[in-house]
Structure 1
Amino acid sequence: MSKPVAGRKVGEREALAVATTVRGSPQKLNLVAGLIRGKKAGEAVNALTFSSKAMAVDVRKCLQSAIANAENNHNLDIDRLWVKEASVGKSITMKRFATRARGRSTRIVKPFAKLRIVVQERDINEEAGA
């Protein structure tokens, strides 16, 4: 027997995109994710396009993936999408070493982070209230 099909991880009228290995610390990624939380999808893409942070490129790719998922998989109107959630978590950490003076070595930690973006379609009357 096979396993039953898993249900949707987000509600109706919502779409999800996940970036599992974004190179950089979760703390720095959270600063960039804070730029788009609660904004309309188009405004969020513009904010990330013109951001000076290097991680904004990866966040923009994930956001555009969520918008594409909403349009193609869930038939949502992209003009009424807004960023409901942009959560960040820790992923793997690569450990390397660098040689130092007098035969010693130092550990170098190269962190990765996870990013989860949920976009939701709002009604016209909800947008007027927001």
Structure 2
Amino acid sequence: MSITKNVKETKAVGKYIRLSPHKVRRVLDQIRGRKYQEALIILEFMPYRVCSHIKQILESAAANAEHNDGLNKNQLFVSKAFADKGPTLKRFQPRAQGRAFPIHKPTCHITLGVSEL
């Protein structure tokens, strides 16, 4: 028999972001389970291009929690953070002797969930 506590989780999703999901997951692993303010500081000083996108989505999730669910931003933590693969843009690079090499430009969908401590 387990006792479950009603925990409100609010999420925000960024779709079709032109970054590889593999590179996004590298950063998401660093902020998963951290407090909201701590995660913002980590994202501010990490040297990766994806950090600005994740920071924007995290701020959106916190604003959703505050506005829609009435939660306090100071009491939030990152409860869920994952990146799914999106559609791949396919392009061709012309090469020697009339050949064409494919170029794959990956996209991803980033989902962040925040809950109250």
TM-score exceeds 0.5:
yes
**Paired position in structure 2 for 1:49:** 44
Of structures 1 and 2, the one with the larger relative CO (CA 8 A, separation 6+) is 2
Deviations 1:69-97 (A, max 9, x none): 01111100111100001011101110000
Aligned length: 112
Q: Does 1:118 align with 2:76?
A: no
Structure 1 residues not aligned, in runs of 5+: 1-10, 123-130
Measure the CA separation in 1 of the matches of 2:40 and 2:34: 10
Fraction of identical pairs, as percent:
38
Query: TM-score w.r.t. structure 1 length?
Result: 0.83
Aligned residue among 78, 91, 113 for 1:96: 91
Structure 2 residue 33 is matched with structure 1 residue 13: no
Where does residue 63 of structure 2 map in the other structure? 68
Which whole-Å CA distance do the structure 2 matches of 1:34 and 1:58 have between them? 15
- How much has 1:13 moved relative to structure 2? 2.3
Partner of 1:128: none
**CA distance in 1: counterparts of 2:30 and 2:58, whole angstroms:** 12
